[in-house]
Amino acid sequence: MKPLTVNLDHLSSFVSGEELSYLSGECMKCLLQLEQGTGEGKDFLGWLNLPSSQPEALISDIKSAAASLREKIEVLVVIGIGGSYLGARAIISALAHQFETLMTETGKPYILYAGHNIGEDYLHEMLEVLSQKDYGLLVISKSGGTTEPAIAFRILKKHIEKKYGARKAAERIIAVTSKERGALRTLVDQEGYRSFIIPDDAGGRFSVLTPVGLLPIAIAGYDIGKLLEGARTLEKTTHSSVPLEDNPSARYAIARHALYRLGKKIEVLSNFDNRLIYFSEWWKQLFGESEGKNRKGIFPASVTYTTDLHSLGQYLQDGERILFETFIRVDSESHKLTVPEDKTDLDNLNFLAGKTLNEINKKAELATILAHIDGGVPNILVEIPLINEYYLGGLIYFFEKACGISGYMLGVNPFNQPGVEAYKRNMFALFGKPGYEEEAKKLKDRIE
């Protein structure tokens, strides 16, 4: 199979070869720090060797649980927030038929998501749909006490038990949670739900290749074996034993750090394939939550072209020169569709007759890259041959490894997220949660 590649050719007018060479030494130091577990966050490096170390028994158990639940349901609700759902959603949405909601028979359950917001209308309307469907729940939470998914699960648990009865409902609920502690683990033990373990040493945004991501992807009907195979390939090719010039994660980390040093504080992940929209959402969490600390970090944003060329494209071409782009380029499409000849040619498009939409899309991509370079926007090109489980697994691991290296190059701990707790403290205080009385008084004084 063709490899994932990182192309830095379009950086030459922005970053010198000397600068990239200078940063190679720092990169290797950080790569070794990551692999040897000598840096900050070393207790959360379980993801590093996951592709090659996942037991076959676990994969078989996941596949068995997925097949068993799939026989009972038309719809699966995945309950989680952040890393507990974004990775799975990224893969499932990339692989699913893009008009799945309008298809009558797919042979796969339709996947819905809950617990990633507190939208009252969203959940109310979901319950209206679930009242008419055979469904199951997959609740993913290390603690079971995270506010958004805990609220959603409480409401959906009541609904599914009312619909099927408590005993039969329990057969339609699977939990992915901690092995020994937390509210959800206690509930699993009380109710007898089938469950899988979230490893303590893999944080949420690095957990796609654990049961957190593998189970919903398997229930959705996709090949988790191929996903792990693709990730294993990148585990090998991004190892410190590989020369840096051949290591895609290292090359990417070096390039983005060089651009950051030049004042490029925003990275825009760009693609020309709608199937990668939720992959971009996962990527934004991965880098935003890993690097945005101590008043440092590259802000992650994303666009999908050619749609956004008619909106944000103006800013990218002509706005502040504080950003760079990373393009995910997919070489091939799964289908072929050509532009037909038209006798009248009123739209003046006969010059495209006989060409496939993929050919046209690739020309639009090249035109955009060249235009943005001319407009002062450096870009990095990450290329995969096509979208399937194998290459998506590789892409996941590629970005995870690069993120770990990048965080250390930046001088932050890439594996914690202290800033996430700020809004939670305020919210608990505003609701009068026991233990937050002092914060509540301070907020009340501020508001008044």
Residue ranges making up the domain that contains 132: 50-222
What is the phi-psi region of residue 193: left when phi exceeds 0, alpha when psi lies from -120 to 50, beta otherwise?
beta
Q: Are residues 280 and 382 in the same domain?
A: yes
Q: What's the whole-number mean pLDDT along residues 69-97?
A: 96
Mean pLDDT of the chain: 95
- Taking 80 as the threshold, does the pLDDT of residue 105 lie above it? no
Is 445 contained in some domain?
no
Is 18 one of the annotated active-site residues of the chain?
Answer: no
Alpha-carbon distance of 248 to 402, in angstroms, equals 8
Alpha-carbon distance of 280 to 289, in angstroms, equals 14
Share of the chain above pLDDT 90, in %: 87
Q: Are residues 163 and 138 in the same domain?
A: yes
DSSP 8-state symbol, 182: S
Tell me: the pLDDT tens digits for 276-308?
999 999 999 999 999 999 999 999 999 999 999
Report the run of H or E that residue 222 belongs to, with start and end. Answer: none
The catalytic position among 71, 310, 343, 421 is 310
253 Cβ neighbours under 8 A, 6+ residues apart: 27, 30, 402, 405, 406, 409
Is 124 one of the annotated active-site residues of the chain?
Answer: no
Q: Are residues 99 and 26 in the same domain?
A: no
Q: Are residues 66 and 88 in the same domain?
A: yes
Is 354 contained in some domain?
yes
The catalytic position among 289, 291, 325, 365 is 289
Name the 3-class secondary structure at 315.
Answer: helix
- Quick check: 114 and 84 in contact, CB under 8 A? no
Q: Are residues 404 and 339 in the same domain?
A: yes
pTM for this one? 0.95
Q: Are residues 269 and 203 in the same domain?
A: no
**Alpha helices, H only, 304-388:** 313-318, 357-374
Is 379 contained in some domain?
yes
Tell me: the pLDDT tens digits for 367-421?
999 999 999 999 999 999 999 999 999 999 999 999 999 999 999 999 998 877 7
Q: Are residues 315 and 268 in the same domain?
A: yes
The catalytic position among 97, 355, 363, 424 is 424
Is 291 one of the annotated active-site residues of the chain?
Answer: no
The total number of structural domains in the chain stands at: 2
Q: Are residues 13 and 133 in the same domain?
A: no
